Amino acid sequence: MARKRKLKKGFKKFLVLVLLLAVIGGGYYIYQLYIGNLDMQHKEKKQEEERIMLEQINNNYATYVKTTTSTKLYENNEGVFNEVGNVQESVVLNLSEIDNLTLDNKYFQIKDTTYYVSYDSVGPTEAKKYDDTYKNYLPFNENIVTGDKTNMYQDDKLILTINKSIDEPIIIKNDDTYSIEYMNQLFSIKKEDVKEIRENTNTDEESAQSIAVLNYHFFYSADLGEVCNEAICLETKKFEEQLKYFVDNDIYTLKMKDMEMFLDENIRLPKKSVLLTIDDGAMGVANKAIPLLEKYDLQATLFLITGWWELNNFISDNLEVHSHTNDMHHNNKCSSNGQGSMVLCVDKEKGLADLKKSREILNNTTYFCFPFYEYNDYSISLIKEAGFTMAFIGGQRKASIGVDKYKVPRFTVYDSTSLQQIIKWIS
């Protein structure tokens, strides 16, 4: 009897143990299911996050992107991206090509640099055309060396900050800044941020000390039966022959700002440079000269009599337009040894009003050309007061560094002027 009670008691314990093990096993099974479910949810969440990230990487990458906020710059040190600077908001960047975007492309490399930006700080944009005129200049044989932090500006606006010293050739010298090429663009650096100027042989090419300024007037085509009886007319075939020579011989055709900076010794220009100017705006400029300039992709300047011809007739990327007065291109108005140009003795108030109107039409230009090449102390003081910083005359000689910027000489091109004469003037 006692033995039966003992067996019964043992059986109960066994049942309790079995039940306990069943509960523990069931709980463990449920726990494993729960953990497995959590792992699955975590995996799915991670996959979704990676999908979204890859989608954002694809959406934000383009050949040209614009920073959507003030953006950190990075350098890649064996897979570790270290912050080295900053790019301001709304700056257009040209990125290196990436054939197949993956999650490894969280940083986009800026083309032709060692710098990167994060994918989430930029967005696609249209290509921005930067003025690369400076690439025609000769660098000075001097470098700037900055301190441990370098701020770079464009149009007086901070664009880029690099947290290190840079050592780069000087391209342009201004009163308060030096301009350098960096990231395939032109940036200005304040002189106060420059620690040292050091001599360095950046080029062996000899720079120009004087520049030939050619002066054209009217263009006509004999093939079309056109006739122009003035000596300052030029057959379009001859003009094209000259332009082709400039292209074939790598002669740089200046913009007006280039000329001013050259005379101020802010830049160095190659000896093979020339400035092309056209006076008045009359026969053949719009329908002959401009198409040829565009054909050969060369630059020229038109000095326009704004009261006589509409500015809209001369819109071209290859032609600047500056002032030849608004309505003072009249002769026999003043006593002189020449043609008696009106600008020599015009009433001051009337003259300033004319010049002001011309400047306003021409986006406040500061470049001027004297009618009939005539000037005197009074006319020079008048255009200075009107806001002009440089003016052109005749003279049949080159414009040299140090010349009076209100008497910049030019060579007048006649229909009888040969290509060999042009070459001689330029050489």
**Beta carbons of 96 and 111 less than 8 angstroms apart:** yes
**255 vs 367: CA distance, rounded Å:** 11
Q: Extract the tokens encoding 128.
A: 């921005």
What is residue 233's three-state secondary structure? strand
CA-CA distance, 273 to 269, in Å (whole number)?
Answer: 7
Look up the pTM and report it: 0.86
Measuring CA to CA, which residue among 171, 138, 174 is closest to residue 156?
A: 174
| Residues found in the chain | 427
**Residue 40 is encoded by which pair of tokens?**
């699955």
pLDDT for 18 = 61
Helix or strand holding residue 220 (H, E): strand 218-220
End-to-end alpha-carbon separation of the chain, Å? 135
Q: Are strands 233-235 and 218-220 parallel, antiparallel or unpaired?
A: parallel
Are 405 and 263 in contact by the 8 Å Cβ rule? The answer is yes
Element (H, E) at 243: helix 236-248
The pLDDT of residue 46 is 75
Contact indicator for 268, 243 with CB cutoff of 8 Å: no
- Reading the block at residue 63, the tokens are 């050949």
pLDDT of residue 130: 85
Residue 337's pLDDT is 84
Looking at residue 104, what is its pLDDT? 86
Residue ranges of the chain with per-residue pLDDT less than 70 = 1-23, 25-41
CA dihedral (284, 285, 287, 288) positive or negative: positive
Contacts (Cβ under 8 Å, ≥6 apart) of 378: 344, 345
Measuring CA to CA, which residue among 389, 388, 393 is closest to residue 410? 393
